[in-house]
Amino acid sequence: MAYSRKDRKGRVLRKGETQRKCDGKYVYTYMDTLGRRRSIYSKDIKTLREREEQLVKDQLDGLDTYVAGSATVNFVFDRYISTKSELRETTRTNYKYMYDRFVKDGFGKKKIAVIKFSDVLQFYQYLLKDKKMQVNTLETIHTVLHPTFQLAVRDNIIRTNPSDGVMAQVKKLPGRNHGVRHALTLEQQRAFIRYIENNERFESWVTLFKFLLGTGCRIGEAIGIRWDDIDFEKRIISINHSLVYYSREYKGHGICSFAVSLPKTEAGIRMIPMLDTVYEALKREYAFQEENGFNETEIDGMSGFVFSNRFGNVHNPQAINRAIKRIYEAYNVEEVLKAAKEKREPILIPHFSCHHLRHTFCSRFCENETNLKVIQSIMGHANIETTMDIYAEVTETKKHESMQELAKKLDVF
């Protein structure tokens, strides 16, 4: 004989329905499309069942809308991001933030089945021209839109991915800065470090900037370095984690905070031998902290961070970029006056950010090393093409220098 669950009034409850003993409320429990348990509640059985029927209808309507190809880009993006269980929470948060800010309220409302290559291209051009977006930022938008369209292709909702080849077309546009971060020249690099070393206002930044210029670390890897990651005896630095500063929800409000994360890619986990300059700078920093106190910040169970700001906390990447701006602006003002007195051309430092220092290290490395796999390993590039692009840019400059040197040595004309 089959057993049927009943409520307090003796009415037979359907599958998934229960009545709580504590307050008499009715509960319907079901599995959503991702296999997660969900529940809805009501004080009376009639209202609960009306909500059950609406729930089933909504699920079917959503599926029908998707299969019919009349779903919006927003609908498919939500479906796509819900399947990416392997994404780190910080990455997921960044993707959703960029999508909500630039796509959701405009392009995201378009029906995915009618979007063509030219629509995506026009949207990207709009972001570049009207929104003044940098190509590097646009690539992040493309990183979430392209797989969104690809999901619809794999589900046979659309035949081709309309975003295929769009970024290649964008990078052909004339007069655009295509996101290449140009390195500082050797003269600019030396001028920057010497100015900090000899300026009491900025000398507290010396160790951090020598570390960045001497290791090529990403900024998150650098601010996350702990003394435990540094082996002075073997002169090796272990890159095994990164610090990220990101926005998240907390009690219904958006707040920004630090979190420990794995490096950007698996290739990012690496060992970097210390240059003498880096070794000496870190040794001096350790001696200073032994006398004046170490950084006591704790993030996700990690502590003992090497670098700290004037408040004793780890550095915010944006604060470092602001410091860079203050330094090169102050330097340039002094350098113009000094060069005028000495009747020479000033060595001016252009606008740059933390990541330019990584690119600068890589450029110096490429100028002195021909083994691309060695460069890739030290830089932590997941793709050898990234290394090759920088190497090609550096060798193009070296090619002109070599020809000039050749012209000087070969007196045959």
Q: Give the pLDDT band (50/70/90) at residue 2.
A: very low
Residue 178 to residue 407: CA distance in whole angstroms: 33
Q: Is 411 a domain residue?
A: no
Q: Do 377 and 328 fall into the same domain?
A: yes
Between CA 94 and CA 244 the distance in angstroms is 11
Same domain, 144 and 232: no
What total of structural domains would you count in the chain?
A: 3
| Low-confidence winner among 10-14, 166-170, 226-230, 405-409 (lowest mean pLDDT) | 405-409
CB-CB contact of 361 with 215 (8 Å): yes
Contact 90, 259 (CB under 8 A): yes
Residue-wise pLDDT for 286-312, tens only, equals 999 999 999 999 999 999 999 999 888
pTM assigned to the model:
0.65
* 156 and 107 inside one domain: yes
Instruction: Give the separation between CA 151 and CA 134, rounded to whole angstroms.
Output: 26
CATH number of the domain residue 239 falls in: 1.10.443.10
Domain boundary, last residue among 170, 198, 223: 170
Q: What share of the chain is helix, strand, coil (3-state, %, to 5)?
A: 55, 10, 35
Where is pLDDT greater, at 208 or 66?
208
Q: How far apart are CA 339 and CA 318, in angstroms?
A: 31
pLDDT at 174: 63
| CA distance linking residue 413 with residue 159, whole number of Å | 62
Dihedral sign of CA atoms 367, 369, 371, 376 in order:
negative
The answer on 218 and 334 residing in a single domain is yes
Q: What is the pLDDT of residues 85-113, one digit of tens each?
A: 777 777 787 788 889 999 999 999 999 98
- Give the total residue count for the chain: 413
The pLDDT value given to residue 15: 85
Amino acid letter for position 346: P
What is the C-alpha radius of gyration for the chain, rounded to an integer number of angstroms?
29
Domain match, 233 and 322 both: yes
Q: For residue 261, give the nearest of 253, 249, 269, 270 by alpha carbon.
A: 269
Q: How confident is the model at residue 32 (pLDDT cuts 50, 70, 90)?
A: low
Confidence of residue 35 (pLDDT cuts 50, 70, 90): low
Q: Does 61 share its domain with 99?
A: no
- Listing DSSP states for 312-368 in one string gives SSPPPHHHHHHHHHHHHHHHHHHHHHHHHHHTS---PPPP--HHHHHHHHHHHHHHH
Chain segment 55-92, per-residue pLDDT in tens: 776 665 555 566 656 789 999 999 899 888 777 777 78
Domain membership of residue 122 as a residue range: 73-170
**Same domain flag for 342 and 226:** yes
Residues 136 and 42 in one domain: no
Residue 52 CA, chain-centre distance (Å), reads 41
Residue 181 has pLDDT above 60, yes or no: no
Task: Based on the fold, state whether residues 264 and 123 are members of the same structural domain.
Answer: no
Q: Which of 75, 160, 168, 175 is nearest to 121 (CA)?
A: 168
